[in-house]
Amino acid sequence: LRRLPVEGFSAGLVNDDDIYKWEVLVIGPPDTLYEGGFFKAILDFPKDYPQKPPKMKFVSEIWHPNIDKEGNVCISILHDPGDDKWGYERPEERWLPVHTVETILLSVISMLADPNFESPANVDAAKMQRENYSEFKKRVAACVRRSQEE
């Protein structure tokens, strides 16, 4: 990431003594409700990385169908490798050891623009987006404003 920075996020170690914990800043993608936001998150890598995926949790408040109310990100590439017992994901959509911090964060940015409604982590956000879009937009706008003040 230092050699070839990618637009839309920055990432680095929380503490130089711990290579397993990264702090991330995701910039709300243009032309989305999240545009202008600066959302802080933590990537926690397991000791058996890259065989197992990291966990990603937003510490900034963010209202999104695929981010639960505690900030945990729910996207396919962060799910353990193998078959999905509920049948929503194909094995190739799940974690593979070739994924990097860059591919994870690009997937998160894509998710902000295009939520997956098949298996929402935040059912209330998914329902609000479908049934009361104007209220959903207000809630997201409030999160964007707060992220700019952090």
CATH architecture assigned to 9-149: Roll (3.10)
Number of other residues whose CB lies within 10 A of the CB of residue 66: 22
15-24, 63-72, 95-104: segment of lowest average pLDDT: 95-104
Q: Which of 74, 112, 143, 144 is catalytic?
A: 74
Give the per-residue pLDDT at 86: 64
Q: What is the pLDDT of residue 80?
A: 87
Note the pLDDT tens digit of each residue in 44-97.
999 999 999 999 999 999 999 999 999 999 999 998 887 776 667 777 788 989
CB 122 within 8 Å of CB 67? yes
Could you tell me which of 59, 48, 52, 72 has the C-alpha nearest to residue 23?
59
The pTM assigned to this predicted structure is 0.89
- Residue 41 confidence (pLDDT) above 90: yes
| 143 given a catalytic annotation | no
